[in-house]
Amino acid sequence: MKNIIIAIDGYSACGKSTTAKQVAKELNYRYIDSGAMYRSVTKYFLDHHVSITNPKEVVKALDQIRISFVVNSKGNSETFLNGINVETAIRKMEISENVSQVSALKAVRIAMVEQQRKLGKERKIVMDGRDIGTVVFPNADLKVFLTADMLVRAFRRQRELLEKDDLVDIDDIIDNLKKRDQIDSTRKESPLIKAESAILIDTTHVTVDEQVDEVIRMALTKMIPKVNGNL
Ligand code: DC
């Protein structure tokens, strides 16, 4: 069986990480949440009052940042920033409100893409983000692009935050998603666009299990070339 790289890109709150995590578990692959890396950088910048308009400060700060992923006892990947577990902290609204500005910086992207490529060296990886199929792994074996209606995305994000005891008004979530969509898809560096060869899945009316099954089915056709889509 061939070891493959699966790239899952798309807008915020379309179910990328839920799908990617589940696909990785079922294939016994490594899951990497590239958004968590940009969120961690954002947390570091906020905690250390790094001015994002000062390129020297940005480069100096990036040099101090070490991001790693550790799989916990439940089999879920958790994000560590300089040895500290930041998995919960990086999901807060304060981070969501600043991450698109930080992730638009060229120096930040260069540093993260380099780390992401290292993580993909041994293949057997599912990575989700915005530029995984276009920039990080343009030769990924399988590229998926997820989309969904804004209201569905906002309610999904609200439920996720609520599960972490963070009650956020639906209008604030919609505002944040719209702003991030706009910045993520119009930025100069690696804008969010669907790779030509990516398969588009609209998750508005699809359950997580259906999404996961669809990606696994496509992955198997790449892992076992003889299957050729006849599963
Ligand atoms: O997937 P997420 O919502 O946790 O990502 C947070 C932000 O990080 C998102 O608004 C854009 C940025 N991001 C990016 O620019 N490139 C990636 N590969 C992943 C995320």
User: In order of start, what are the domains of the chain with their CATH numbers?
Assistant: 5-223 (3.40.50.300)
Which of 9, 103, 180 should be mutated for ligand 1, with most atoms under 8 A from CB?
Answer: 103
Query: CA-CA distance, 205 to 114, in Å (whole number)?
Result: 36
The reported pLDDT for the residue numbered 96 is 92
The predicted model gives 95-103 an average pLDDT of 94
State both tokens at 10. 């798309």
Average pLDDT, the chain: 94
C-beta separation of 78 from 69 below 8 A: yes
Query: CA-CA distance, 36 to 67, in Å (whole number)?
Result: 9
Query: CA-CA distance, 153 to 172, in Å (whole number)?
Result: 13
The reported pLDDT for the residue numbered 164 is 85
C-beta separation of 205 from 153 below 8 A: no
Owner of token pair 């020297």: 56
- Tens digits of residue pLDDT in 178-210: 999 999 999 999 999 999 999 999 999 999 999
Enumerate the β-bridge partners of residue 78.
Answer: 70
3-state secondary structure of 70: strand
The predicted model gives 18-47 an average pLDDT of 97
Of all protein residues, the one whose alpha carbon is nearest to atom 9 of ligand 1 is 100
Of all protein residues, the one whose alpha carbon is nearest to atom 13 of ligand 1 is 35
- Would the pLDDT of 138 be above 80? yes
Could you tell me the pTM of the whole model?
Answer: 0.93
3-state secondary structure of 97: helix
State both tokens at 168. 């956020």
Q: Strands 30-33, 199-202: parallel, antiparallel or unpaired by DSSP?
A: unpaired
| pLDDT tier at 54, thresholds 50, 70, 90 | very high
User: What percent of the chain has pLDDT above 70?
Assistant: 97
| pLDDT tier at 230, thresholds 50, 70, 90 | low
Q: Tell me which amino acid residue 35 is.
A: G
The predicted model gives 4-12 an average pLDDT of 96
- Would the pLDDT of 9 be above 60? yes
Number of H helices, E strands in the chain: 8, 8
- Would the pLDDT of 227 be above 70? no
The reported pLDDT for the residue numbered 231 is 53
Query: CA-CA distance, 69 to 5, in Å (whole number)?
Result: 18
**The ligand 1 atom nearest the CA atom of 16:** 1
The predicted model gives 11-30 an average pLDDT of 94
- Would the pLDDT of 228 be above 80? no
The predicted model gives 39-60 an average pLDDT of 98
| pLDDT tier at 229, thresholds 50, 70, 90 | low
Query: What lines the ligand 1 site, CB under 6 Å?
Result: 12, 34-35, 38-39, 99-100, 103, 129-132, 180, 184
Q: Phi and psi at residue 80, in whole multiples of 5°?
A: -120, 135
